[in-house]
Amino acid sequence: MGKGYSEEEIREKLISVLEGSETGMSGVEISEKMEISRITMTKYLKVFAVEGLVRQKNIGNITLWFLEPGQESFNFPADYFKVAPQFLDYLIKGKEEQVFSLIRNSLHSGVSVNRLILEVISPAIDALKSLFDEGKIGTAEQNLLRTTISKSLQILNQIPIVPDSKKNLVIISADFQSSLLAEATSTVFHSDGWRVSHLGDMSSAINVLFDLDFQKLVSKIWKQKPGVLIVIVFSQTDEGLNFFADAINPIKAKSGKRMKLVLYGNASKKVKNESDLVTQKLDEIIQWSQTVYQNLK
C-alpha cells in the first residue's frame, strides 16, 4: 500500500486494522498489515495522532498504537444522510463527546468541510433556534448547545490551511442569534483557503464611531488591497443590516470594485440596492464569492 492510495484510503484501512486490537500494535506490525513502508507509516501515524484518530503508548522500547474510542468510518457523499440526524440527536441529548467524535470521524473519512457545514451543522443551528423559539429549550440549554456546535467548528478550523492572500473576508454578526451561523460561515471559507477575519457578535459596536473603527481595521488587514475583500453581515433584523450597510458602503465606495458587501437576512429595498448580494442562503454566498474571486483573476 502507499503509492497510488490517498490519505483517506490509508486512514480507512488503518481504522480497519486497529479497531479489533485491544492490546495495540507496533508500527512494524501496522506497516506489514498495511503493506506500506515502516518509515512512511510512521509519518502517517504521527499525523493521525495529531488529528485524534490514534494514540500511542510507550512500553519500554516499544511504541504501541491504539485506535481512539468511538471511531467509525463513513462513505461520503452517501453517508451525509446518516451523519446529519446523528449529529442533531447527539447534540440535543447533550452527548458532547459523541458530537466531537462524529465530527472527527467524518474528517477521517474524507468529508468535505463545505458540505459537512451546509448539510449537517447549519441545519442543526436552524433546528436549535426552532426548539428555542417554540419554548422546548430555555436560554441556558440553548447556550450550552450553541457552545457544543462552536467547539465542533473549532475542530474543523484546526485543519492546516494555507490561505490565499487574494481571497480576503470579514464576517460580522449584528446580533447574538446570528453569531453561530456567522461562525459556521467563517469555517467554510477558512477551509477553502480564504483569509478570514471573523469579528463575531458586533452588536456592542453599533454606535456612531463604528465606521471609523472599521476603516482602521480594513487598512490593517487589506493593506495593499490584493485580490478581493468581501464583507458579510449577518443579522436577524432589518435594523442591524441597515446600520452596518450604511457604515460600510462609504468605505466600500472608496476602496473600489474589489471590495464587496454581502448581507445575510431580510434587507429593505434601499439596502438591497446598495449591496452586492442579499440572501438567506449560505450556499449562495459561497458560490457567489468564488465567482467574484474568479472574475478578478
CATH number of the structural domain spanning residue 175: 3.40.50.280
Q: What nine digits make up the cell of 151?
A: 467547539
In angstroms, the CA 123 to CA 127 distance is 6
Residue 19 pLDDT class (50, 70, 90 cuts): confident
Residue 123 pLDDT class (50, 70, 90 cuts): very high
Q: What is the 3-state secondary structure (H, E, C) of 257-270?
A: CCEEEEEECCCCHH
Per the domain annotation, does 280 fall within a domain? yes
Who contacts 196 (Cβ-Cβ below 8 Å, separation ≥6)?
163, 169, 171, 186, 189, 190
Burial 61-78 (b: 16+ CB within 10 A, else e): eeebbebbeebbbbebee
Do both 192 and 211 map to the same domain? yes
pLDDT attached to residue 250: 94
Per the domain annotation, does 61 fall within a domain? yes
Do both 44 and 112 map to the same domain? no
Cα-based torsion angle of the residue sequence 274, 279, 284, 287 in order, rounded to the nearest 10 degrees: 20
Query: What is the side-by-side strand order in the sheet with 25-26?
Result: 25-26, 62-67, 54-59
Residue 2 pLDDT class (50, 70, 90 cuts): very low
**Beta strands 259-264; 228-234: pairing state:** parallel
The mean of the pLDDT values for the chain is 92
Do both 180 and 218 map to the same domain? yes
Per-residue pLDDT averaged across 158-186, rounded? 96
Do both 269 and 192 map to the same domain? yes
Per-residue pLDDT averaged across 254-281, rounded? 88
Do both 98 and 119 map to the same domain? yes
Do both 179 and 149 map to the same domain? no
Per the domain annotation, does 190 fall within a domain? yes
Last residue of a domain, one of 106, 137, 157: 157
Per the domain annotation, does 72 fall within a domain? no
Do both 173 and 107 map to the same domain? no
Per-residue pLDDT averaged across 224-233, rounded? 96
- Please tell me the pTM assigned to this model: 0.81
Do both 121 and 175 map to the same domain? no
Do both 49 and 109 map to the same domain? no
State the CATH number of the domain containing residue 57.
1.10.10.10
Spatial CA neighbour of 169 closest among 150, 149, 193, 202 = 193
Q: What nine digits make up the cell of 62?
A: 516499544
Residue 205 pLDDT class (50, 70, 90 cuts): very high
pLDDT attached to residue 222: 96
**Beta strands 167-173; 62-67: pairing state:** unpaired
Last residue of a domain, one of 131, 157, 183: 157
Residue 241 has pLDDT above 60, yes or no: yes
Per the domain annotation, does 112 fall within a domain? yes
Do both 172 and 286 map to the same domain? yes
State the CATH number of the domain containing residue 135.
1.10.1240.10
Per the domain annotation, does 73 fall within a domain? no
Q: What nine digits make up the cell of 35?
A: 503493506
Q: Check: CB of residue 260 under 8 Å from CB of residue 229.
A: yes
Per the domain annotation, does 74 fall within a domain? no
pLDDT attached to residue 73: 79
Last residue of a domain, one of 101, 124, 157: 157
Per-residue pLDDT averaged across 40-67, rounded? 88
Residue identified by cell 471609523 is 212
Helices (H), the chain: 7-18, 27-34, 38-51, 80-92, 96-108, 113-116, 122-133, 139-157, 176-191, 210-221, 238-255, 269-274, 282-296
Report the amino acid identity of residue 35. Answer: E
Number of domains the chain is built from: 3
Residue 74 has pLDDT above 90, yes or no: no
Q: What percent of the chain has pLDDT over 70?
A: 98
Highest mean pLDDT among 18-27, 49-58, 74-83: 74-83
Higher pLDDT, 167 or 60: 167
Per the domain annotation, does 210 fall within a domain? yes
Do both 121 and 199 map to the same domain? no
pLDDT attached to residue 4: 56
Residue 24 has pLDDT above 50, yes or no: yes
Q: In a 3-state reduction of DSSP, which class is residue 53?
A: coil
Higher pLDDT, 75 or 70: 75
Do both 129 and 174 map to the same domain? no
Per-residue pLDDT averaged across 277-287, rounded? 96
pLDDT attached to residue 297: 67
- Give residue 284's domain range: 167-296
Residue 261 has pLDDT above 60, yes or no: yes
